[in-house]
Structure 1
Amino acid sequence: MKKLIICHGDKGGVGKSIFAMLATDWGLQAGRRVAVIEGDVKIGDVGRRYSGVDGVHGFGVDLDKSGRDAENAVTALFRQLEDSEADFVVLNAPANGHKALDSQAEIIVPVAQDLGFEVCVAWMVGLEESCARLANISIICEMADRRIAVVNRHESQYDADFFWLTDKTDRDIWVKSGGMLGEIPDLASRVAAKIKENQGVPLAFLSSKDSPLHLVDRQVIKNWLKKSWEGAVIPLVGGAV
């Protein structure tokens, strides 16, 4: 089945772009026809990494909108999707993405489903307790076919347990409503820096024999990718590494 993966979280710096890259790489490894949609056209870090990569169609739609502007942006997005051949679409939502995603959920979800997409939302867990409230009242999360709350351990140095995911009340609300729980493991800063230095190539390329990195760094990335896919991406979209 075709997949629309929405990388959400409503805050900046929670790991939406990381999940979007991991999902894009997984789609490429699985031989899918991948499209990357940048919802924050000012930053566009995921789009830059996969711009020009074979098998990836990329475009930007400014989703930092509300009201009629949000509806127009969503309309433009789905017109492009309907005309594309992509069967694995990764949408990297902007901070405050709820302005467009929640207000237009009753357009986004049914139109995506009519186009044959399963709607999958990855809610990236921030350190603030408000992430629980935002996740559990998110309309796009509620309407999605599948959803997962993902801890990005690289951002967890100040709260190793992520309060709301380990608090029984908030966790149970999420799980009882059909939400899954996932995790992206920490990646050594020295290796993360190498990934940032090497733009314009998929993450998996940096772990391959053609990578410009040292063998040890390639292996660290390879292990991290496998654990990230198994811990967060595959539970959301299905399949196997």
Structure 2
Amino acid sequence: MKRLIISHGDKGGVGKSIYAMLAVDYLLSKGLDVAVVEGDIQIGDVAKRYDGVDGVTSFNVDLDKSGRDAENSIAVLFKHIEKMGCENVVINAPANAKKALDTNAELILPVAQDLEFEVCVAWMVGIEEASAEMSEKSIICEMADRKIAVVNRHESEYDADFAWFTQPQYKKAWEKSGGMIGEIPELASRVAVVLKSHKNRSLASLAGVDSPLMSVERQVFKNWLKKSWASAVAPLIDGGE
């Protein structure tokens, strides 16, 4: 099965990069090779983390475009994918990605289908109501084979802060349209800081026996990784498997 996984959300700071990393690591854990598409070329944090990691290839495509430039970027994206023969592709979308992804959904989906990809979209839920409203308007979410809305927990944020919970009509509408719901649990701040200091290692390697983390940090991270995969990643990637 070939998968095109898009970490979307259209807002900055909602967890698109961390979701993309979780998806890459989950696929690696299944023994699959992965191509990482870094759509935010200004930051490029996902591609940088997996630079030199076995089983991962990466390339940059500027998806922070609109109009004809966005269409050209999508064309470049799929030329790379087709030439490389990628079977598992993870796209880390930039903020404001609707300019490229949603506007060109009617180009992306048919080409992906021609290349025999399932299109799987993770919509990262922002705190504000606008995030919930935009999820209803996302054309690529509407057209995707599978979609999941993911809340990225932070230590100081609670359910009441999310419009998806304070105004449940958004959550109900998402589920009625066939969307799944998941979450990335909060990670202890001390471990999160350590994670950021080890940028050229896969997430799974930080939970493994050769991890540079202390034993207790490693176990905290391992538990977080398993919970994140189970709630937010496996349902989208595995589907009915």
Range into which the TM-score falls when normalised by the shorter chain:
over 0.9
Mapped to 2, the partners of 1:131 and 1:33 lie a distance apart of 32
Displacement of 1:86: 2.1
Counterpart in the other structure of 1:74? 74
Mapped to 1, the partners of 2:226 and 2:157 lie a distance apart of 25
Tell me, what secondary structure is at the counterpart of 2:200? coil
Displacement of 1:239: 7.0
Counterpart in the other structure of 1:119? 119
Question: Is residue 17–residue 92 contact of structure 1 (8 Å, CA) maintained in 2?
Answer: yes
Counterpart of 2:211, as a letter, is S
TM-score, structure 1 as length reference: 0.96
| Closer, same or farther: CA 162–118 of 1 in aligned 2, 3 Å | farther
| Closer, same or farther: CA 17–67 of 1 in aligned 2, 3 Å | same
Counterpart in the other structure of 1:85? 85
Mapped to 1, the partners of 2:142 and 2:161 lie a distance apart of 22
Counterpart of 2:160, as a letter, is D
Counterpart in the other structure of 2:205? 205
> What do the CA deviations read for 1:23-42 (whole angstroms, capped 9, x no partner)?
00001101112000000101
Tell me, what secondary structure is at the counterpart of 1:95? coil
2:181 matches 1:157: no
Displacement of 1:162: 4.3
Tell me, what secondary structure is at the counterpart of 1:102? coil
Tell me, what secondary structure is at the counterpart of 1:31? coil
| Superposed counterparts of 1:33-52, under 5 Å | 33-52=33-52
Counterpart in the other structure of 1:148? 148
> What do the CA deviations read for 1:172-199 (whole angstroms, capped 9, x no partner)?
1111011110000000010011110001
> What do the CA deviations read for 1:192-235 (whole angstroms, capped 9, x no partner)?
11110001110000111111111111111110010000000001
Mapped to 1, the partners of 2:34 and 2:182 lie a distance apart of 23
Counterpart in the other structure of 1:181? 181
Counterpart in the other structure of 1:233? 233
Question: Is residue 33–residue 85 contact of structure 1 (8 Å, CA) maintained in 2?
Answer: no
Displacement of 1:163: 3.1
Aligned pairs, number? 239
TM-score, structure 2 as length reference: 0.96
Mapped to 1, the partners of 2:229 and 2:198 lie a distance apart of 21
| Closer, same or farther: CA 170–224 of 1 in aligned 2, 3 Å | same
Q: What is the RMSD computed on CA atoms of the aligned residues?
A: 1.3
Mapped to 1, the partners of 2:36 and 2:211 lie a distance apart of 23
Tell me, what secondary structure is at the counterpart of 2:118? strand
Tell me, what secondary structure is at the counterpart of 1:101? coil
> What do the CA deviations read for 1:77-136 (whole angstroms, capped 9, x no partner)?
000000113211100000000000011111111111111110000000001111111000
Counterpart in the other structure of 1:63? 63
Q: Percent identity?
A: 62
Structure 1: segments with no counterpart, 5+ residues: none
